[in-house]
Amino acid sequence: MTLWNGSYPFYPGANACFPFDTTRAVIITVFLSMLVMFIIILPGIRGRGRLFWFLRLVLALFMGAVVLTVQFTRDWETGWVQAKTSYKSFSPVQVNMDIGLHIGLAGVNVTLRGNPVNQINETINYNEHFPWNFGADYDRSYSEGLEKGLPSPILYVAEKFSTQSPCAVHRQYRIAGHYASLTLWLAFCTWLISILLFSMSILLYGGHMLLLTAALMLFSLLFFTVRNTPKCPIQFGPVSLRTDYGESFWLTLATGLLCLLLGLGIIILNSVQPEKLKLIFSLDKSSEEEVWDKSCLPAEPSCSAQDVLMVPLGKLCQVTATQL
């Protein structure tokens, strides 16, 4: 069992870190490209409406990017612990490691990083994903990890979320993730409808759609947090790995509250001071019409003005009289 320079033959070399989340990168790139495109045409907007237009643009793109991005993030719940534990099965050697658990809507990520990274002649830097979304089999992914010979801490944490685990948290997290994902997709659809309504100057119904978007985002948080089973203890010697709500959870909460405030503000302004609401959405044309009307009015009569008198069309002539 100690062939090949003292390494266990059924353990491959150090696995590379989990690839960069290309889905999140694509979403952020698309929304940033849209923002840059609109900033380029910003100088073409005249007057104080430029500022309001830019603020509306930034808020709209931010809300849409958040609703779409948190679908694919893996930090709805996160936790880290430093522990000295065994690295491989059937080996008494213990190493210092940082062990991280990241729970998303579609699965679990387990991070294992040596402290320092290079120990026992190996590079300890792992990040393994075990999915439970539609079309994925968590137990099969766990079995593949066993066959590959992943480090013991990763398999120990992943086993806690399997269907055969006595913790019985797999079904709870899986159903919670599915319902939270569904409500977020609905929130993204209502966000698109609100953008369409605002572009058509239907402000009241756009505010209602923002309220519905906020409600769906808050319901997604509720679906994710409501679980019947308590958190399963993950113990590494004297220390335990505990998770808490991560960045995606709090970002979704903040964006949902922002949508709620904006929707309520639009509805209240529409009923109390609709003129200010039209000014914010650059729909107040009274000043422009007033300028246009003044430009169309005839000039004040003066001693040097000409009086143009039109005779009936039958005579087909025009008489001009100059006041002396």
pLDDT digits (tens, 9 = 90+) for 161-220: 998 888 888 888 999 999 999 999 999 999 999 999 998 988 899 999 999 999 999 999
Q: How confident is the model at residue 94 (pLDDT cuts 50, 70, 90)?
A: confident
Q: Per the structure block, which two tokens stand in for 95? A: 């190493």
Contact 265, 281 (CB under 8 A): no
The structure's pTM equals 0.78
pLDDT tens across 264-310, in order? Answer: 999 999 999 888 888 888 776 544 443 334 444 444 444 443 343 34
Mean pLDDT of all residues in the chain? Answer: 80
Using the predicted structure, report yes or no on whether residue 17 has a pLDDT greater than 60. Answer: no
pLDDT tens across 225-271, in order? Answer: 887 767 788 888 888 898 899 999 999 999 999 999 999 999 999 99
Provide, for the chain, the percentages of residues in helix, strand and coil under a 3-state DSSP scheme, each rounded to the nearest 5: 50, 20, 30
Q: How confident is the model at residue 85 (pLDDT cuts 50, 70, 90)?
A: confident
- Determine the Cα–Cα distance for residues 119 and 194; give it in Å rounded to an integer: 54
- Determine the Cα–Cα distance for residues 104 and 176; give it in Å rounded to an integer: 10
CA-wise closest residue to 66 among 243, 282, 288, 220: 220
pLDDT of 294: 43
Task: Give domain limits for the chain.
Answer: 22-74+179-228+247-281, 77-170
